[in-house]
Chain A
Amino acid sequence: MIRFDHVAKRYPTGHEGLSGVDLYLQAGEMAFLTGHSGAGKSTLLKLIGLLERATRGQVWVNERNLNKLRARDIPYHRREVGMIFQDHRLLHDRTVFDNIALPLVVAGMRHAEVRRRVRAAMDKVGLLKKEKVFPITLSGGEQQRVGIARALVSKPPVLLADEPTGNLDPDLSREIMELFLQFNQVGVTLLIATHDVDLVNRLGKRIINLRDGRVATDSGVPG
């Protein structure tokens, strides 16, 4: 599902975000990206979501070579990759419902279908009663759930999360991880960047540790 071939990313400032990463995630796999800040976790996720392009090597997502994707194809690629952020990235002048509906509206889905799917996504993250509420009135954990619902509402095959529990207390963090495990059970490929090593160790999933822009350890390289 996701493949990195000798991928390097050098920023215009000269900083090297990634230097030679080889990585392969099977469809339906769930993996955690760990490492110190600056190790390249965010850069790696950005390359998958095409927020950045690799300067060397090749990135494959969903059977597509992202290097060869033209600029006008990027939006369509992003519809197949759900992204979750530490700071949620919600629209504060729109209701929870409208926030979650955004990917579907953008894709031109019919109104009735949008309602049905948004409800289902809200149900999944346990926010069903909050649809007319504005995000600012929600707690940090609830806002993150809105972000998660928005990422999964269009049923993308790949879900990326960058420090999704970064601002949450341990209980809420565990709940969010539980959600991710559920998604994984229905076949979604997940790649989650986190520095919460204790939590991910307990989950028993694949852990990819980055150091200085390279893969330092990888707990489960598939054969």
Chain B
Amino acid sequence: MARRKRARRFKRRLNPVTWLLRHAQMSLSSLGRLSRNPISTAMTTAVVGIALALPGGLHLLVGNVSELGGSWEGSASISLFLSQGVGDEQADSVRQQIALRDDIAEARLIDRHQALEEFRRLSGFGEAIDLLDQNPLPAVVLVRPGEHAQGKDAVAALARELQEFREIELAQVDLQWVERLGAITGTIERAVLVLAVLLAGAVLLIVGNTIRLEIQNRHDEIEIVKLVGGTDGFIRRPFLYEGIWYGLFGAFIALFLILVSLYLLDGPVQRLAGLYQSDFSLTVIDSASLLGVLLGGPLLGLSGAWLAVGRHLAQIQPE
């Protein structure tokens, strides 16, 4: 035999159709393998599902609450409490004056009489009020800032300006608690992010460990496939598909859990919102969360499988 250097090259490329077909077969056969161990598959996917549902669901919840805060912040109003001595007519002229300003969208007067009625109705102190000789409540002008005066600072400046009116005792911006709500949701959002990173790590480990066990179980098979000329890619592929399937089914379980939780929470939330005279209700799952869970799950599964396969497959060599 002639010793030719670099003689023949190996034919390594498959044609694309065969390649695709092989991937499709491989993904289905890993699915079949998973379905043959329904209990262990269900447990792994359930754990993945819960790990995905927690950050996914919390993200959705926080999103809902901060959206609520945002809608209130946009409609921040200023309450102008008039001095005790200001009469009804004078109060109305103050209202007209204010309503004419460019930076005011709307000004509504709650005169002393109306204020008393409202207080009697809502506070539960109606009888105590009746004992008083005279109405202790001041008239109030409720001001909604115009488009030029949107945003926290502009509204605060407007309030300071209105405070200059002689008839106005106090100009109060009803924004502080919205700010607090914003700060709280901001904190929770960060906490959810940290939780999401931790749980993503957990998913990686769960899937990685499951795949590691699977590799150990199929030790002999891997050895034989290597003996008959299976490439590392060929051997790796079914495990990677298994990782993807775990992630995908985990994502479905997570979505199911989130929807159930939303359904269970919706009643109490509406009751709570009703107490604050709000028609707020939880939105169904938004597309960002949906996509995040549906893509994140399989991606994490794939990464977990890849980690396990990379570590353990090289250790198996035929003898």
Contacts and interface: CB of A to CB of B under 8 A. Distances in A.
Chains A and B bind each other: yes
Interface of A: 1, 3, 24, 26-27, 49, 51, 60, 62-65, 72-73, 75-79, 83, 89-91, 93, 102-103, 106-108, 110, 150, 154
A102 B221 CA distance: 11
Contacts of B225: 102, 106
B229 A79 contact: yes
B229 A75 contact: yes
A51 B228 CA distance: 11
A63 B7 contact: yes
Given A89-B224, A91-B224, A108-B19, A75 B1 contact: no
Interface in B181-238: 220-221, 223-232, 234
Nearest to B223: A89
B123 interface: no
A77 B11 CA distance: 10
Given A62-B8, A75-B234, A77-B10, 18 more contacts: A3-B3, A27-B1, A63-B1, A65-B5, A72-B231, A73-B10, A75-B229, A75-B230, A76-B11, A77-B229, A78-B228, A83-B227, A89-B223, A91-B221, A103-B229, A106-B230, A107-B229, A108-B18
B113 interface: no
A75 B231 contact: yes
A78 B1 contact: no
6 contacts: A63-B1, A75-B229, A77-B229, A78-B228, A102-B224, A154-B228
A106 B220 contact: no
Contacts of A63: 1-4, 7-8
Nearest to A92: B220
B14 A108 contact: yes
B133 interface: no
A78 B227 contact: yes
Interface of B: 1-5, 7-8, 10-12, 14, 18-19, 22, 220-221, 223-232, 234, 317-319
Nearest to A71: B232
A23 to B, nearest CB: 12
A60 B3 contact: yes
5 smallest A-B Cβ distances: which pairs?
A: A79-B229, A76-B10, A63-B7, A78-B229, A103-B228
Contacts of B318: 51
A70 B10 CA distance: 12
A51 B10 contact: no
Contacts of B224: 89-91, 102
A107 B22 CA distance: 10
A141 to B, nearest CB: 20
A76 B2 CA distance: 21
A60 B4 CA distance: 10
B1 A1 contact: yes
Nearest to B4: A63
Nearest to B228: A103
A91 B8 contact: no
A139 B51 CA distance: 50
Given A91-B221, A102-B225, A110-B18, A64 B232 contact: no
